[in-house]
A and B are shown apart, each in its own frame.
Chain A
Amino acid sequence: MSSAGEKYRRFSRREFMGLAAGGAGLLLLGGCGGSQGQGGGSQTIVCSLGPDTTGARQKQIAQFNQKYKGKYKVKSRIMPSDVTQQLQQYRTDFQANSSIPDMIQGDCTWPAELASNGWIIDLSDRFTKSMRAKFLPSTLTSDQYSGKIWGVPYWHDSGMLYYRKDLLEKSGFSGPPKTWDQLKEMAKKVKSDSGTKYGFVFQGANYEGGVCNALEYIWSAGGDVLDPSDPRKVVIDSPEAVKGLQMERSMVDEGITPQSVAAWEENESQAPFLHGDAVFMRQWSYVYALLSDPSQSKIKPEQVGITFIPSFSEKEPGFGCVGDQSFYISAASQSQDIAWKLIEFLSEPKEQKLAAIQGGYLPTLKSLYNDQEVLKKVPVMGVAKEPLARNKPRPVSPYYSDLSLKLQAQFNNSLKGTVSPEQAAKTLQGQISQIIKKASA
């Protein structure tokens, strides 16, 4: 192939995608009425967000538009709720060099891919050290890639362990389990004392959440997927990682967790817990709010406590998997400065407070975890304060989506018992090494 042909091809495909993205953009914006030009002389930017039924996000954008009336105007574009679908749309937009959107709300597993393709801008200069110091340290780790920072976290979440205080007390336990073995022991005792149907429920399906769950076991055993000090080194085939996967599988083998956990996502696993049918549950923070809604939950918040993900030793608790979302600015945007103004605005304590109270978005700013008003209205921030601060990000790679698919499949196989934990780790070692090799080629 001649290089001219090569160039022509790339160009034509890009143009085609441009048309498609432009078309989609027009469609999406059509409903808002008015084009970029109309705004009474103000500059308009488009901010792409996930769906928000609470109206918190819309309110914040309206506040921003009010504050900068006549100067800037933000329009929001609402995306599908599935983050995988969101990423697919953004790939199309960015690849087409579309100037819409200017800014996106994205998942914490994306920055490496978006940054290595040159689709988002480096925020190291804007997001200064003093500004960063106001954020929970663990929320910043996943936005870092190749020594720079690419996003500003606005929504924090982490894996944590929910437990039934009342049932544990009834069986004579004074506190929640610290290790996996204690969890098993307590689950067995409570099951026989109170007749609870399940001991421990979590998310084990062949999907992204299954990766988060399995990684928590692996981390608590001291293992990891990639070497934290050298992310080009694959370390999944280690005794520690195998130990973690074995522990996850043993939950099923010992009858603490039902076999069907390997098909469960968030909804399937929270249903038995809210129904009072489980002693322990690994979950994200949002379920705590459901406890105070009698139409959703048979148990009350008073009956439930939240603690760290267990580990293998009593000395150190395990790590929760980070489930944050951040804001990123498009490299193709014509109005990056305005986008940054919006990010700064949304990162102010009073805005994060509004998002937390009205929208349930847990803040990324440290100060709000001591704010009495927020703590009162979003009780999970107090109940789970420490677990929320103890977490690790998933492996950082520009090819995370490839890597994750392999992890999802093997972790699920290991949990189902179709392959042994040793075999799963070995297979992953080969598959991920291949991906890393391709990525560095």
Chain B
Amino acid sequence: MTTANEQRKARGKRVRGLIGKSGEFRNPERRLAYYMVLPTLLIILAVAFYPVADSIWLSLHQATLTVTGPFVGFKNYLLLFQDSVFQQALANTVIFTVASVTIEFVLGFAVALALNRPFRGRGLVRAAVLIPWVLPTVISAVMWRLMLQDQIGVLSYAAHALGLVHQPILLNHTYLLIASILVDAWQTTPFIALLLLAGLQTIPADVYEAARVDGASTVQRFLRITVPLLKPTILVAVLFRTLDAYRVYDLFYGMANRQLESLSTYVYEGVRITQLQFATGNAAAVFIFVTAFLVALFFIKVLGMRTATEE
């Protein structure tokens, strides 16, 4: 009883604290501060929340581009999950995300460790490594498409000569998915490498020295010092890449030219090209938003990623 009462009292105090005599809003300076933040909050609401809310609203109606029809509850979501094209798009996107991020992380980590050692021309190599990442994705996608194309494509020629493939690469769904994973790895490994390199350089050298004096092996130093101290950077890098890969659009569109569906291309097609799939397209957009949000939450809550420099 008493505890409940105390809690209620405390809550009352807190509420009064905000609006009460001695509270935040009684202090003219603080009140002014709130007024000054208000426009920003409104802009954030309008810019960040309105589009999402609008998509959610549309996804619950039998909407077309021109008419918002009657409320249909979750029917669009049911239709969405039954659509084999969507299932395929979801599978493609998940496979692509998991595979490409894994490859990029392993390779990127290795490159970062290599670049962390002093050697001649290190500056040049660091800059050179970035080249694939600097190219706009659409351009690299089209470039790789030409190499995979079977009339003039050098990769297609090599793969056929080596007996690796038995069909034009651009027609086979599996080949295309593998190719897009590899192209993505090619393109964004440098991004991970540079992020991790920056993290590696914040680890003080004396920690390693102390460990070496204590007789720790290379493997021990890596596992006990490098990995734990690098964890915050790793989580940021992997989360960025995961969300980025999950939204893949330009690579699939540029390289596979509609032979490979991702969640984003599915949404584009539904909302922008067709008329009748407008509502399911919106439902898919909401699905992407919610699932991406859950992935981010997982990183922050379960893996303990820090979103700000606390303390």
Contact = CB atoms under 8 A, between A and B. Distances in A.
B128 interface: no
A272 B171 contact: no
Contacts of A260: 149-151, 168, 170-171
Contact of B276 (A84, A91, A207, A435): A435
Interface in B36-86: 54, 57, 65-68, 70-71
Nearest to A9: B68
A91 B171 contact: no
Interface string A276-302: 000000000000000000000000000
A263 B276 contact: no
Interface in B141-168: 149-151, 167-168
A10 B57 CA distance: 12
Contacts, number: 65
B259 interface: yes
Given A1-B71, A207-B258, A91 B269 contact: no
A113 B269 contact: no
Interface string B83-115: 000000000000000000000000000000000
Interface string A191-212: 0000000000000011100000
Interface residues of B, number: 25
B258 A6 contact: no
B272 A206 contact: no
B168 A399 contact: no
B275 A263 contact: no
B68 A402 contact: no
A263 B68 contact: no
A299 B70 CA distance: 60
A399 B66 CA distance: 13
A416 interface: yes
Name the prevailing secondary structure of the A interface residues: helix
Contacts of B170: 260, 263
Given A206-B259, A268-B151, A399-B276, A263 B171 contact: yes
B274 A10 contact: no
A271 B66 CA distance: 41
B277 interface: yes
A138 interface: no
Contact of A262 (B54, B66, B171): B171
B275 A399 contact: yes
A13 interface: yes
Contacts of A416: 171
A190 B92 CA distance: 43
Given A259-B168, A263-B259, A438 B276 contact: yes
Q: Which among B54, B57, B273 has the greatest number of chain A C-beta atoms within 10 A?
A: B273
Nearest to B273: A401
A401 B272 CA distance: 10
Contacts of A399: 274-276
Given A95-B66, A207-B258, A416-B171, A402 B277 contact: yes
B151 A405 contact: no
A200 to B, nearest CB: 16
A402 B274 contact: yes
B257 interface: yes
Q: Which among B67, B68, B275 has the greatest number of chain A C-beta atoms within 10 A?
A: B275
Given A91-B65, A206-B257, A84 B171 contact: no
A36 interface: no
A6 B257 CA distance: 38
| Shortest beta-carbon contacts, A-B, top 3 | A260-B168, A263-B170, A402-B274
Given A6-B68, A88-B272, A207-B257, 14 more contacts: A10-B67, A91-B65, A113-B275, A205-B257, A205-B258, A259-B168, A260-B168, A262-B168, A262-B171, A263-B149, A263-B171, A268-B149, A401-B274, A405-B274
Interface of A: 1, 6, 9-10, 13, 84, 88, 91, 95, 113, 117, 205-207, 258-260, 262-263, 268, 271-272, 398-399, 401-402, 405, 416, 435, 438-439
